[in-house]
Amino acid sequence: MQAATDRFNRRGGRGGHGHISIVPRNKRREVCIIDEAVGVPIAGSALTQKLFMAMNNTNVQGVVAGNAGANAGAGSAVDSGIELSISLAALGGANVFDDIRVVAMVDKANHNYLSNQVLAGLPAPRGNMGGDRTGSFTGSLSQITFAGIARTQFVTVLTCRADLPNDGVVDDDDFLIFVKAYNNLVCADPEMPTGCPADLSEDGFVDDSDFPAFVGAYNDLICP
C-alpha cells in the first residue's frame, strides 16, 4: 500500500464528493464497480453521507507475506486498486480546494486484528499489529497506538480541481473545456459534461466565481 501512494489524485465530482483514486479511468470496469452508494449512514457515526466505491484487485504485486518493507518498484508498476468517493460533508465540512490527509489500514472483518498493511506505511521490519501493536489477538483494537512510530503516518491528497481532463496539467485543453462550460453557464444544461467538473465552486453554475480559481491553476500549469 505504501508504494502505491504516488498514484493518488483528487478530483471534483457530483454531489460535493472528493474522489481519491488509484484506479486508472480506462480500467475502472475490469472487475467491480459499485455505481450506487454503499451503506446507510448511521446516526452518531463518522459517516454522515453515503459512500461510493470501485475496486480492481487483479494485480497484487508488492503485496507479500512477511515483515519486510513494501516493494516500491512493484508497487509503482501497479495500475489498479480502489477508488472511493466521499462527500466533503463527511470530512468535517472540508472545502473543495482543501488538501486532505489520508491514512488507511487493513484489519480483519470483525475489526479486531490489524495487519501491517498501513498507508502511509510502517518502518520495516514490522509484523502484524494485532490488537496490541505486537501481533497478539486481544479481541479489539483498543490497545493500538501509533505513538512512538517515527514516520509520517498519512499521505496528502493534493487538490487540482481545474485539471478537467485529469492529465496532471492545467493547460489549453482545460481552457477549451472551461470556456465551453462557461458559455453554457448552468450545470443542468444537457450540453454540460457529466458532473459539471468546471463548476469549481460547486454552486451549480460555471460563472465568474469559478474563473479566478481556474486562472490561478492555469498559470501554475502543473498540478501539485
List beta partners, residue 82.
55
Give the global pTM.
Answer: 0.54
Distance separating alpha carbons of residues 163 and 197, to the nearest angstrom: 9
> Among 57-61, 130-134, 166-170, whose mean pLDDT is lowest?
57-61
Contact at 8 Å (CB) between 184 and 191? Answer: yes
Confidence of residue 10 (pLDDT cuts 50, 70, 90): very low
- What number is the average pLDDT over the span 15-43? 41
Distance separating alpha carbons of residues 58 and 223, to the nearest angstrom: 29
Determine the 3-state secondary structure of 192 from DSSP. Answer: coil
Residue 180: enclosing H or E segment and its boundaries? Answer: helix 172-184
The CB density around residue 32, as the number of other CB atoms within 10 Å, is 12
